[in-house]
């Protein structure tokens, strides 16, 4: 009987440890991260930015080096948080594509980077809108 209780306690403690290790810490996942952390490459080599208005579908392209540097300079400071609810979503206010020559180097919307859904960010939308309306 003692042996059975000991085995049961051992199994419960092993199961409990495995369960804790398998859980995701949502607090650490939703910590703010600089948007630039998601970009793979040299941001100074960006030669064009296309931005699409999600409401109208209209696309505007920006190639002026000064405009690009100014916008990308602010881009470095913007932080985003992943949405704990990663179920598929649709719609966006703005979508941005960063180009080096004719090759897309990075694309994102105000609500998604690759397959990572983001929490709403007023700062990001404001920054995207400022470019679109310039």
Q: What is the pLDDT of residue 1?
A: 60
Q: What pTM value is reported for the model?
A: 0.74
- pLDDT per residue as tens digits for the range 37-96: 899 999 999 999 999 999 999 999 999 999 999 999 988 889 999 999 999 989 999 999
CA distance 95 to 38: 15
107, 96 Cβ separation under 8 angstroms: yes
Order of strands, edge to edge, in the sheet holding 94-100?
59-62, 48-53, 94-100, 103-109, 112-113, 116-117
Packing angle, helices 122-132 and 65-75, rounded to 10: 180
Domains of the chain listed by start with CATH number: 29-132 (2.60.40)
Residue 117 pLDDT greater than 60, yes or no: yes
pLDDT tens digits along 9-47: 655 555 444 434 433 444 445 678 888 889 999 999 999
């Amino acid at each position: 009987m003692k042996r059975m209780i000991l085995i049961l306690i051992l199994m419960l403690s092993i199961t409990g440890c495995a369960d804790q290790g398998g859980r995701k810490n949502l607090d650490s996942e939703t910590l703010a991260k600089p948007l630039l952390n998601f970009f793979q490459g040299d941001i100074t080599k960006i030669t064009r930015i296309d931005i699409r208005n999600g409401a109208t579908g209209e696309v505007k392209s920006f190639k002026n080096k000064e405009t690009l540097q100014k916008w990308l300079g602010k881009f470095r400071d913007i932080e985003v948080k992943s949405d704990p609810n990663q179920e598929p979503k649709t719609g966006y206010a703005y979508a941005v594509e960063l180009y080096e020559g004719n090759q897309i180097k990075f694309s994102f919307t105000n609500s998604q980077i690759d397959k990572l859904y983001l929490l709403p960010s007023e700062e990001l939308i404001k920054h995207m809108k400022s470019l679109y309306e310039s």
